[in-house]
Copies of this chain bind each other. A is one copy, B any other.
Amino acid sequence: MSYRVAVWGATGMAGGELLRILANHPNLEVVCAVSRGSAGKPLWHDHPHLRLWYPEMVYSSPDEAMDIPTDLVFLALPHRGAWKVAVDYRERGVKVVDLSGDFRLKDPAQYARWYGEEHGAPAYLEQAVYGLPELHREDIASSSLVSGVGCNASCAILGLAPLASTGLVDSVRMELRVGSSEAGGSPSKGSHHPYRTRTMRVFEPFRHRHLAEVIQETGLPEDLFTMTMTAVEMVRGVQMLAQVTLKEPVKEAVLWKAYRKATEGRPFWNVCPARPSHLRLPDPRFVLGSNHCSVGFVLHEDGVRLLVVSALDNLMKGASGSAVQAANLMLGLEETSGLDGAPIYPA
């Protein structure tokens, strides 16, 4: 069974990662890679690691792309640049996975608040499904418009959703540590190697935009959260370290039960065992290049203070991997198809 897919925003970092995954995907065939600025240029000029996989393919212009029949399209476009293309494809009956932020928030008022402007196609917000298969597998499978997921949001939600379900959370002070690929492929002062390397830049004290997704998906009140961001020396990788306070002292078994129940039957979501203790809290390096998210926690002896750590590869599980996972579901394929590679470690 094989489907034809297109990738928009193919010169960028999420776009390149989609091309990489699709290069080895047994059921999906890239029929076009779209770029306004690089149309006609070989794909591998931007993605030199993919030369052998796309030796001849060149970028299509948006206009050309629209004429190429596809079953599903991935949009790896900037925020606010995706929704029009998405609507266009939807009107042609093509399934869409949009990795931008345009369809993540269900509530137009929340969209306006966090993105600073009214949504251009609020009618579509309703039908769009939040594309985290670990929470919405069935809805995704039956949808034709799926939103991608913020990389930090993915990490936070997968770390906290099982806990949220217990009703025990009193406060969560999250700290997200992120690699340089999170900012995409465009150079800036902040991403300039001499300044970016080995930095520990705390660039957002309390309220990163992805918090909106965490609130929506955990169902917990905003007031419980802060979300601090630190840029650290990684290329790929997001790690959440959440300092949680519970409403009342609990036994660890309660937490184990919640995490095991949530992750059961989820091929890309797992909880680190308690032993050995030095592997209890996951390092993003242990999932590098894979579609897996690992979660670990330690409960303080007071039964109230809890540390939750989660880790994923922001280009895979945090973006393109989840997008392909969603596409698999939307097309009736195995959820894990093309995504089952083991992490590369040490790297």
Contacts and interface: CB of A to CB of B under 8 A. Distances in A.
B342 A198 contact: no
A57 interface: no
A122 interface: no
Interface string A263-281: 0000000101000101101
A239 interface: yes
A270 B169 CA distance: 37
A195 B173 CA distance: 28
B206 A180 contact: no
A187 B192 contact: yes
A181 B193 CA distance: 8
Contacts of A197: 180, 193, 197, 235, 346
Interface stretch (A30-38, A67-75, A85-93, A303-311): A303-311
A2 interface: no
Given A300-B206, A344-B344, A237 B200 contact: yes
A200 B236 contact: no
The number of times this chain is found in the oligomer is 4
Contacts of A98: none
Contacts of A230: 177, 241
A53 interface: yes
B194 A192 contact: no
B185 A50 contact: no
A202 B343 CA distance: 19
Given A47-B345, A52-B270, A347-B235, A228 B241 contact: yes
A165 interface: no
Contacts of A226: 243, 300, 305, 307
A284 interface: yes
8 contacts: A24-B341, A173-B243, A187-B192, A192-B192, A200-B283, A206-B307, A230-B241, A341-B341
Interface of A: 13, 16, 20, 23-24, 45, 47-53, 173, 175, 177, 179-181, 185-189, 191-203, 205-206, 226, 228, 230, 232-237, 239, 241, 243, 270, 272, 276, 278-279, 281, 283-290, 292, 298, 300, 305, 307, 309, 311, 340-347
Identify the 4 closest CB pairs spanning chains A and B, nearest first: A233-B233, A49-B345, A180-B193, A193-B196
